[in-house]
Structure 1
Amino acid sequence: MSYIERSNELFESVKTPYIGAALLALVAVFPLVANAIGGLPFLTSIAIEMMIFAVFAMSFNLLVGYTGYVSFGHTVFLGSGAYMTAVLMKKFSVPFIAAAPAAVIGTGLFALVVGAIAFRRSGVYFAMITLGVAQVFYTLFQSWNYVGGDTGIIIDPPVVFGYEFNPFEPMGYYYLALATVVVTYLFTRYLVRSPFGHVLQAIRENEERARAVGYSVRTFKLAAFSVSGGLAAVSGVLYAAYFTQVAPGSTLYWTTTGDGLFMILIGGMGTLVGPIIGSVFVIGTQYALSTYLVDFIPEGAPALVARLPERWPLLLGLLFMLTVLRFRSGIAGGLGFSRVRSIDDVLTRVSGSAETEEPTVKSDGGDER
């Protein structure tokens, strides 16, 4: 092997960790830059929302991207985490540091029950069962006075180890959300690269062949659904902590699931960086079009152009369409992050065969041949 080939191989082996560390460093100093240019509260609040929904999208991607089952009611787990946190803090005076893990564990168990019901069917029937569960809870919480009905529950900003978070000074929330995104990413990365994750990918590619290898497919699907629900609850906990108000319209309505699905489709389904990219893209374009588009409309523009800021969702939909058509494997796929595609590759790894060459595992959990 020549010196150039060895250098290229070394660069390929370290470029992703170094790039990831550099991006993380830039994100970490973002509030300081935003403060310097005078846009700290607004820009930081957008970044916090991106990170909250990045966690939600990663949880959704674990189910959709690595198991192949689409849940149309995944927002019920975000709402469950948010409501459990709010109820424990508001009604029972439980501190945030205890309410948060209780909400995540409770939602994971709740997801296990929902999964046991939903996995009695597959395909579109599975999706409709999960949607039905979400709509039942949305309707129930809209009219349940104990949890505030349509208005929801308002809580005080959380206090952790004597530090009181302040929504008007969002630096604390920012770094809490950033730490949560990093931990969630590392956890899901470890999970999908483990034997458990390989079985999930085998189920996604060919459920019957995964069952023929000898694995209890239903057990793995329930475990994946429960873990996915618990991770969605983490985003719900962050949502309740930051917005200090939990209402059914913002946490339990099915359109939140649609936003999560957009994020993983645009970002890159079946990759770990895809949901993060998708969250930044979807929320960033929403704010850019709804807030800043009007600044680019010249005076005296035709009526059709002048009214574009009022119709920004139309432009958002067109942008989503163009992005999906341009990046068929998502933006992450366009950047070189791939997902496992061959059922033979997956089942070879699941069964522990050593007859084929071991693939190189990329940082997103996919395989690169």
Structure 2
Amino acid sequence: MRRSQLPALLLAVLAVGVGPVAALVADDPYLLSIFERFLIFAVAASSLNLILGYGGMVSFGHAVYLGLGAYATGLLANAGHESLWIQAPVVVVASAIAAFLIGKIALRTSGVHFIMITLALAQILYYLAQSSSAFGGDDGMVIHARTTLWPGYDAFDPWQFYAFVAVTSLALLWLVDVVVRSDFGRRLVAARENGQRANALGFDVTGTRLVAFVIAGAICGLAGMLLANQSEFATPGYSNWQRSGELLAIVILGGVGTRSGPILGALVFIVVEHYLVSITTHWPILFGPLLILVVLFFNSGLSGVVAGLGGRLLATPAGGAK
């Protein structure tokens, strides 16, 4: 494990625990919604980091799966199918199929061409949602019921809903971590480092990349399901290129190719967004310089900064002697 790679799941668990504590101390349940958004975007960014950080595939249309997951959830909920055990499989299948089709086309190219194809294909789906009256058009779709789990579960109770988002997000973050640390994850890194050598070793480079693309799309689709429940709304804006840019910014801010990077990046991004929005609607202008500074001075993003500080603290002898 590289020094810049912190225990991702431990970090996520600690962050999950901070949400309820902050809400209780401030006596403000609204704080739970901020941590819910953080967890949702941590999952989406982790799925992007799987193909970007470990697969070397720069997708500028990854948010399309957020939109697909949100709309699939909304359509099912408004049709009376509110059960998680119905919604989750539909979201996974829909997102995986979309990721397979997009990946099958985009992986024929590389570099800038790959970026532009993922952007173009994602924008096609974005404009289809925007122009379709069945999806509410540009106004979006109001979701009248949240996902249900079992009898007695109250999806509109802030504490129970936070527990649902937290447990689901931790499970998805764990899944990404398992994929990264598996033999498949190592093959994906090998394909990123040198595709020709990986082919010579007998790896199916294109197949490996496509499978990673599908896994990332399915996990991001589930993040879209959580986002639809959290906002009780689905809008084409979830899948446009600006949202994809935000996911890229989160990964870069936290550290590309680090297991804890998307979690740290999402936490800082959501907290900074929350406070900057109260200052100006043009908050990205203030956020941009922060991202530029991180890119210029910290190769491993915030994950590298935190790991470096932790290493210095551990290296300091007891009593603070130098």
* TM-score in terms of structure 1 length: 0.77
Deviations 1:230-263 (A, max 9, x none): 01101101011111110102x1111111011011
CA distance in 1, matches of 2:20, 2:206: 45
Aligned length: 304
CA distance in 2, matches of 1:217, 1:316: 37
The verdict on how the C-alpha distance between 1:62 and 1:177 changes in structure 2, with shifts beyond 3 A counting, is same
Structure 1 residue 135 and structure 2 residue 120: aligned? no
Match of 1:82 in 2: 70
Question: Of 248, 267, 290, which residue of structure 2 is paired with 1:261?
Answer: 248
Structure 1 residue 288 and structure 2 residue 259: aligned? no
Match of 2:42 in 1: 54
* More deviation, 138-147/311-320: 311-320
The verdict on how the C-alpha distance between 1:26 and 1:230 changes in structure 2, with shifts beyond 3 A counting, is closer
One-letter code aligned to 1:35 = L
Work out whether residues 89 and 96 of structure 1, in 8 Å CA contact, stay in contact via their aligned partners in 2: no
RMSD: 2.3
Question: Of 139, 142, 146, which residue of structure 2 is paired with 1:154?
Answer: 142
* More deviation, 180-189/131-140: 180-189
Deviations 1:143-201 (A, max 9, x none): 101111112221222222021211xx422222222212221222122111111110100
Deviation of 1:119 (Å): 0.9
Deviation of 1:20 (Å): 5.9
Match of 1:274 in 2: 261
Match of 1:237 in 2: 225
- Unaligned runs of at least 5 residues, structure 2: 1-5, 309-322
Three-state SS of the structure 2 residue aligned to 1:188 is: helix
Deviations 1:29-57 (A, max 9, x none): 5314422322221x211111111100000
Alignment map for 1:114-193 (pairs within 5 Å) = 114-155=102-143, 156-162=145-151, 163-166=153-156, 169-193=157-181
Alignment map for 1:301-316 (pairs within 5 Å) = 309=280, 312-316=283-287
Which one scores higher on RCO, CA 8 angstroms, separation ≥ 6?
2
Deviations 1:111-157 (A, max 9, x none): 11211111111111111111111111111111101111112221222
Work out whether residues 53 and 257 of structure 2, in 8 Å CA contact, stay in contact via their aligned partners in 1: yes
CA distance in 2, matches of 1:61, 1:313: 22
CA distance in 2, matches of 1:245, 1:269: 30
Match of 1:214 in 2: 202
Work out whether residues 142 and 150 of structure 1, in 8 Å CA contact, stay in contact via their aligned partners in 2: yes
The verdict on how the C-alpha distance between 1:34 and 1:201 changes in structure 2, with shifts beyond 3 A counting, is same
The verdict on how the C-alpha distance between 1:287 and 1:120 changes in structure 2, with shifts beyond 3 A counting, is same
CA distance in 2, matches of 1:72, 1:22: 27
- Unaligned runs of at least 5 residues, structure 1: 1-15, 294-308, 338-369
Match of 1:365 in 2: none
The verdict on how the C-alpha distance between 1:29 and 1:332 changes in structure 2, with shifts beyond 3 A counting, is closer
Match of 1:351 in 2: none
* More deviation, 311-320/22-31: 22-31
Work out whether residues 85 and 96 of structure 1, in 8 Å CA contact, stay in contact via their aligned partners in 2: no
Work out whether residues 85 and 240 of structure 1, in 8 Å CA contact, stay in contact via their aligned partners in 2: yes
Deviations 1:69-104 (A, max 9, x none): 111111111111111111122236353431122211
CA distance in 2, matches of 1:312, 1:240: 24
Match of 1:27 in 2: 16
Specify the structure having the higher radius of gyration (Cα): 1
Question: Of 33, 38, 51, which residue of structure 2 is paired with 1:45?
Answer: 33
Work out whether residues 267 and 277 of structure 1, in 8 Å CA contact, stay in contact via their aligned partners in 2: yes
One-letter code aligned to 1:106 = A
Work out whether residues 185 and 272 of structure 1, in 8 Å CA contact, stay in contact via their aligned partners in 2: no
The verdict on how the C-alpha distance between 1:214 and 1:23 changes in structure 2, with shifts beyond 3 A counting, is closer
Question: Of 176, 199, 202, which residue of structure 1 is paired with 2:187?
Answer: 199
Work out whether residues 39 and 166 of structure 2, in 8 Å CA contact, stay in contact via their aligned partners in 1: yes
CA distance in 1, matches of 2:282, 2:236: 26
Work out whether residues 51 and 177 of structure 1, in 8 Å CA contact, stay in contact via their aligned partners in 2: yes
Match of 1:102 in 2: 90
* TM-score in terms of structure 2 length: 0.87
One-letter code aligned to 1:245 = F
